[in-house]
Amino acid sequence: MEIEDLLANPAHVLAKLKAGNKKQALQDMARRAAELSGLHERAIFDVLLERERLGTTGVGNGIAIPHGKLPEAKKMFGLFGRLETPIDFDAIDEQPVDLIFLLLAPEGAGADHLKALARVSRLLRDRAICEKLRGTDQADAIYALLTDGAHSHAA
């Protein structure tokens, strides 16, 4: 599972996301995900909120990976958001979040869903990549950083 399998093109990048809080960020991302995927915005938002109720997807170091499974989803889907101003996301390290990678999977994805989560997590653990992501507000540049083959095979 490669990042470009999740992010089909630069339209899957929200480079200047403006949100004042976690709920608004999830709403804005659910709206864009619905536009790109054809899934229902409310279903996306509800599954993300439900997952957050189980425990935060704010994994630390300014990063959140909200995710969920939808029966209507036909394939894995990703959307990346770079917030202009970091927000409280109830992250495990209690630090504000400014990089959000939303991941949606079909209901029966099972191992593929876990592999995609692991792949995204590995990518965003790379501090150098995160610094570069924070250093640009251009969707094309962010997309290129996320899908660059040089680090897409890193363990």
Give 43-101 pLDDT, tens digit per residue.
Answer: 999 999 999 999 999 999 999 999 999 999 999 999 999 999 999 999 999 999 999 99
Share of the chain above pLDDT 70, in %: 95
C-alpha pair distances (Å), 40 with each of 5, 12, 19, 32, 73: 21, 16, 21, 11, 10
- Catalytic hit among 12, 40, 67, 153: 67
Cross-strand bridge partners of residue 14:
81
What domains appear along the chain, each with residue ranges and CATH number?
3-147 (3.40.930.10)
Residue 148 confidence class, pLDDT cut points 50, 70, 90: confident
Q: Identify the pLDDT of residue 149.
A: 58
Q: What is the tally of helices (H) and strands (E) in the chain?
A: 7, 6
Residue 150 has pLDDT above 60, yes or no: no
Written as six digits, the tokens of 83 are 């917030």
104 within 8 A of 68, measured Cβ to Cβ: yes
Per-residue pLDDT of 32-44, as tens digits, reads 999 999 999 999 9
12 labelled catalytic:
no
